Copies of this chain bind each other. A is one copy, B any other.
Amino acid sequence: MTDPEPTHDIEAVFREKGIPFTRQRRLIWDFFAGADRAATITEAADGLRSEGVGQATVYRTVALLGDLGLLARVQDRSGEICYTAPPIGHSHPLICGVCRRVVRFDGDGDVKELEARLSAATGFSIYGHHLEVYGICPDCRREEGAQA
């Protein structure tokens, strides 16, 4: 598991790549990076409308941040697609399927050996993997206790 880490210096990333850094991009980044749980694009657009951010800009910026590796796409228990800002470096999300709270961990030690076996067995050249773990966080488990 990773510890509480500093977020990316997004302005520096943009400057380094020569990509204009706008008020909207900062707001959208802050929306995702400032949350401790994944959010949908619709939620971001709704939350930023009052700040004068258009929905097309939210879509464009989420795609841009995704390309830059600054936003990861995950999904909750209902299959809804959400985005979360990962810390620096490679990690995987442990997601509460109910409230979408995200805890990051590094599981590559477990996967690397598996990938080597797969490559040897199948002849595939492996270029990546996708690992998410789903659970119910203590808070949500408490609230769901009464029901099934």
Known contacts: A115-B133, A127-B136. The answer to whether A122 contacts B97 by CB under 8 A is: no
Contact A114 B107 (CB under 8 A): yes
Q: How many copies does the complex hold?
A: 2
Q: Across the interface, which residues of B come within 8 angstroms of A5, CB to CB? A: none
A129 within 8 A of B: yes
20 contacts between A and B (CB under 8 A): A1-B118, A1-B122, A103-B118, A105-B114, A105-B121, A110-B111, A110-B113, A111-B131, A119-B135, A122-B135, A124-B135, A126-B133, A126-B134, A127-B134, A128-B133, A129-B131, A129-B133, A130-B130, A130-B133, A131-B131
Contact A124 B138 (CB under 8 A): yes
Contact A134 B130 (CB under 8 A): yes
Number of residues from A at the complex interface, CB < 8 A:
37
Q: Across the interface, which residues of B come within 8 angstroms of A26, CB to CB? A: none
Apart from A124-B138, A125-B135, 11 more pairs, CB < 8 Å: A94-B122, A110-B111, A111-B131, A111-B133, A118-B133, A118-B135, A125-B141, A127-B134, A129-B132, A129-B134, A131-B132
A100 to chain B minimum Cβ distance, whole angstroms, is: 13
